[in-house]
Chains A and B, each alone.
Chain A
């Protein structure tokens, strides 16, 4: 039999110590956030009611609901998706199915990384310079949504590219051997096998788009509007900006109300992300190759 030497025992203790230390660090990282979420729910939940979700703000936003902001966020997300999903999927198809491995493709990948890394306020400046002023959209849903679309484009591209590349090469080869063109192969074989993966990316993008504030501040979101937007050239309220406004800009705000707004926003975002994660796990369980 083996007898544990002093060195073995020392190593053993050290190992346990490190494991414990690292586990504690992980816990310290997560615990405050759990406490914060608890506080948000504790203070925000009493505010939320049917009326809060479906009424307009009243009394200089110190009372009433958040419906115009909620609707505005939904509109911004829809218009942004209409622009970025086709573009992002096309870009991902190019990168996964067509792009050769050369400097130009590397430049595209670097541009994607940078698009994701540029500060959100710089995207806002771009939105002002390009969409509001140069293309003369004014401060409007269209300008804000296009700014958001460009900002979140990398999310769609990366998720779609990954799910396209997860489709085995043999599937494509089999299809080519039958005389299919490259596009026929992509449409009939590659995309149907990757569609759930693409969907997880789109849901993630919805979550990102709904939470962004800085890019829409000067491009189309307003602090307060008495009327709901009628066309994409109108300004709109948005939930993320509404949280900023009610928590910093309005004197005499009841303490509870911003907590309610924050809770609605964060629930929306986390729900979307959970959905995306659940879909991904379901997909992983189903895959046979």
Chain B
């Protein structure tokens, strides 16, 4: 923030203040809005504390680092021996997010460049509004689209028995993440000062040369931030992957394999577990894992974007 709001009254001797009703109201409001301001921090810490509290019993009890991260066997309800390995779930999340990014990154960066640098006037306005509306479609609707529209299309086109798989969820997730990445990337391109473009054009560069040699390098960090936020979004998406992946535990070997994602596992199983059981606590432990990963992704994106502002 450039504006130093305290600056305008700084240096005034506070003994000039009259301790009347307005003064007290002013102080009270200042405290109230401060409480509002810190609420975001309180909630983030609260989220971490409460999911850790519920998952704690598992972490100190049945939790086995090697099994948890390196075993592909997620059998929380097995009669003989329960195993809590999330490797296959990580593979599910990674394959779907990876395919989604393969689709979303080039197209959304392309679209962002087109909207920011080529489109103008009405076209630009129309595209921006469309992208904003696409970003607003709820994830459960995307899941339904995967289930009811994409599924038969995939079965017919590729002649496979099941259309709920990595391909389906990846495409759905790609279409979901693309509008968000497009609008953040477009903001990053718009943040490049026009005088850079003018200077390059004055040297005789064509529009594409300006973009490729000047605008893209200058917006590099913002674009990387956009990509990271897209990855974070895909990684944490729940309803769409729950409905479109086929929900079977698998380490996929092709895009036509059904998989199951970390988020979807929590969504599907939490309702069936007894509060306090190992299974229940293991699901909260997955939650802690998800929280930590998205926290790191968001932190990295923020630091990278902040990098440009510092110059």
Chain A contacts to B: CB under 8 angstroms:
11-12, 14-15, 18-19, 21-23, 25-26, 28-30, 32-33, 36, 39-40, 86-101, 105, 107-108, 110-115, 117-126, 128-130, 133-134, 150, 153-154, 157, 165, 169, 172-173, 176, 181-184, 186, 207-208, 210-214, 217-218, 240-241, 243-244, 247-248, 258-259, 262, 265-266, 269-270, 273-274, 277
Contacts and interface: CB of A to CB of B under 8 A. Distances in A.
A107 B41 contact: yes
B270 A218 contact: yes
B149 interface: yes
B79 interface: no
B63 interface: no
Contacts of B263: 119, 121, 214
B60 interface: no
Contact of A247 (B36, B148, B237, B301): B148
Contacts of B275: 133
B248 interface: no
Nearest to B135: A273
Nearest to A105: B1
B208 A18 contact: yes
20 contacts: A11-B206, A14-B206, A22-B114, A25-B111, A25-B114, A94-B36, A98-B30, A100-B4, A107-B41, A118-B294, A120-B139, A126-B47, A128-B54, A134-B50, A153-B40, A172-B8, A213-B140, A269-B136, A269-B141, A277-B133
B138 A120 contact: no
A26 B302 contact: no
Closest A-B pairs by Cβ, 3 of them? A90-B36, A211-B138, A119-B236
Contacts of B161: none
B47 A122 contact: yes
Contacts of A95: 1, 37
A107 B144 CA distance: 38
Contacts of B284: 125, 129
Contact of B148 (A208, A210, A213, A258): A258
Nearest to B1: A101
B239 A213 contact: yes
B46 A91 contact: no
Interface string B101-133: 000001110110111001000000001011111
B243 A265 contact: no
A241 B140 CA distance: 8
Contact of A98 (B33, B127, B149): B33
Interface stretch (B20-28, B70-78, B249-257): B20-28
Contact of B107 (A25, A169, A262): A25
B232 interface: yes
Residue among B8, B43, B229, B239 with most chain A CB within 10 A? B43
Contact of B141 (A22, A173, A208, A265): A265
A112 B206 contact: no
A23 B118 contact: yes
B223 interface: no
B208 A176 contact: no
Given A173-B8, A211-B137, 10 more contacts: A26-B115, A29-B182, A88-B36, A119-B237, A119-B238, A210-B138, A211-B139, A244-B239, A248-B147, A262-B148
B132 A94 contact: no
A30 B40 contact: no
B267 A214 contact: yes
Contacts of B243: 244, 247-248
B195 interface: no
A195 to B, nearest CB: 17
B158 interface: no
